[in-house]
Amino acid sequence: MNQIDRPRRRFADEMEGTTSERSGRHETRRLRHELRRRTVTVSRLEHLTPRMMRVHFISPELADFVSAAPDDHVKLFFPQAGRIDGKPVMRDFTPRAFDRAAGSLTIDFALHATGPATEWAASVRVGDQLDIGGPRGSQVMPDDFDWYLLIGDESALPAIGRRVEELRPGVPVTTLVTVVHPYEEQRFAARAAWTPIWLHRGEPSDADAGLLCDRLASFQPPPGDGFVWIAGEAMIVRALRAYMTEERGHPKAWLKAAGYWQRGRSDGNVAIDD
Ligand SMILES: Cc1cc2nc3c(=O)[nH]c(=O)nc-3n(C[C@H](O)[C@H](O)[C@H](O)COP(=O)(O)OP(=O)(O)OC[C@H]3O[C@@H](n4cnc5c(N)ncnc54)[C@H](O)[C@@H]3O)c2cc1C
C-alpha cells in the first residue's frame, strides 16, 4: 500500500458509517443580501505581520452591514488615476471582522508584489476613504461537523482565521497554510480545538501543490464527518481539491474550494467547485 492509498481507505471506511444524509445534517443555507455600496473611512492600521496589513474602517453606513459566513466577500473599489474610462478597479476581500453597533469593519490585506489592491494597502493612511460593495450573499455551513480542515495561503488566512474563531468550543479544526516565512504565522482567538500547521515555502510557486499534498498525506482525520475548505492560488486549489476528493475519497458535498487569485493574472478569482 503506498502513501496515497492508506489515507484513501481510511476516509472511505469512515464514510460507510455516516448517517448525516438521513439525519439532514450539514445542509448549506444560501442567503441573499441587499446589494449596497458604502463609503468607509480608514480609522486604524495594524501591521499584523510584515506581509499582512490589517485595515480598520468605520462608517455610519456599516450600521446594517451583513456578513453571515466566514468566507463571504466584499468588492473593494480602487480609484485608478491613469485609467481612460475613469472607472475604479474591483477586487474581492473577506470581511475579517465587523461590528454593526460600532459601525466598523476589518479587512486583512496580504501584501504581494504588484496590483491595485496591494499597492493601496501598502500606502494607505488613516482618514483615506474606499467604496465597498456587498456582500451580495452568504453560503452558511452549519457548525455541525465533527471536524474541520482548512487549507490555504496568505490570501485565504482572513477567511480561515474568521472561521476558526467562529467555530464552536472544542470542535477539532486543523489549518494547513503556506506562508512566506515563520514571521507570517498568525494567532487566532479559537474556542475550537485548533491545530495549526504552517508550511514556510518562501514566495508562492507551482511547487506549493506538491508541498501541501505531501503534508496532507500524513493528516489523520478525527472520526466522524469532516468539512474541508480550500482557497488560494487557483491551480493549487484545483490540485488540492482533486487530491482530497479523488485520492482521499472526501465527499464533494463536504468540501468547498475557491480560487482566490491566479498566478500572472490580475483579478484572478475563479470558481473551483463543480
Ligand atoms: C472570495 C475572495 C476573498 C478574498 N479575500 C482576501 C482577503 O481577505 N485578503 C487578501 O489579501 N486577499 C483576498 N483575496 C484575494 C485577492 O482578491 C487577490 O489576491 C487579488 O488579486 C489582489 O488584487 P491586487 O490588485 O493586489 O492584484 P492583481 O491586480 O489582481 O494581480 C497582480 C499580480 O499579482 C498576483 N497576485 C494576486 N494576488 C496575489 C497573492 N495573494 N499572492 C501573490 N501574488 C498575487 C497576480 O497573479 C498578478 O500577477 C480574496 C479573493 C476572493 C475571490
For 246, the 3-state DSSP assignment is: helix
Whole-number pLDDT of residue 6: 37
Which ligand 1 atom sits nearest the alpha carbon of residue 267?
30
> Can you read off the three cell numbers belonging to residue 196?
495549526
231: CA distance to ligand 1 center in Å? 11
CA of 272 to the centre of ligand 1 (A): 16
Query: Nearest C-alpha to atom 49 of ligand 1 is from which residue?
Result: 264
In this structure, the residue with its CA closest to atom 22 of ligand 1 is: 117
**CB of 136 shorter than 6 A to ligand 1:** no
Go through the domains of the chain in sequence order and give each one's CATH number: 31-136 (2.40.30.10), 143-271 (3.40.50.80)
Q: Candidates 108, 237, 260, 273: which one to mutate for ligand 1, based on the most atoms within 8 Å of Cβ?
A: 260
Distance from the Cα of residue 165 to its chain's centroid: 13
Ligand 1 pocket residue status of 229, Cβ below 6 Å: no
Instruction: Please tell me the predicted confidence (pLDDT) of residue 273.
Output: 63
pLDDT of amino acid 86: 77
- Cα of 215 vs centre of ligand 1, distance in Å, is 24
What's the CA gap between 77 and 148, in Å, rounded? 33
Q: How many whole angstroms from its chain centre is CA 212?
A: 16
**If we measure between CA atoms, which residue out of 101, 104, 103, 121 comes closest to residue 112?**
121
Looking from the CA of residue 89, the nearest atom of ligand 1 is 25
Note the pLDDT of residue 10.
38
Q: What is the pTM of this model?
A: 0.92
| The residue count for the chain | 274
Give the pLDDT confidence score for residue 23 in this predicted structure.
54
Grid coordinates representing 100? 454593526
pLDDT score, position 274: 57
Per-residue pLDDT, 267: 81
Q: Identify the pLDDT of residue 270.
A: 76
Q: CA triplet 113, 67, 187: central angle to 5 degrees?
A: 55
| Residue numbers in the chain where pLDDT is lower than 70 | 1-23, 82, 273-274
Residue 77 Cβ contacting ligand 1 at under 6 Å: no
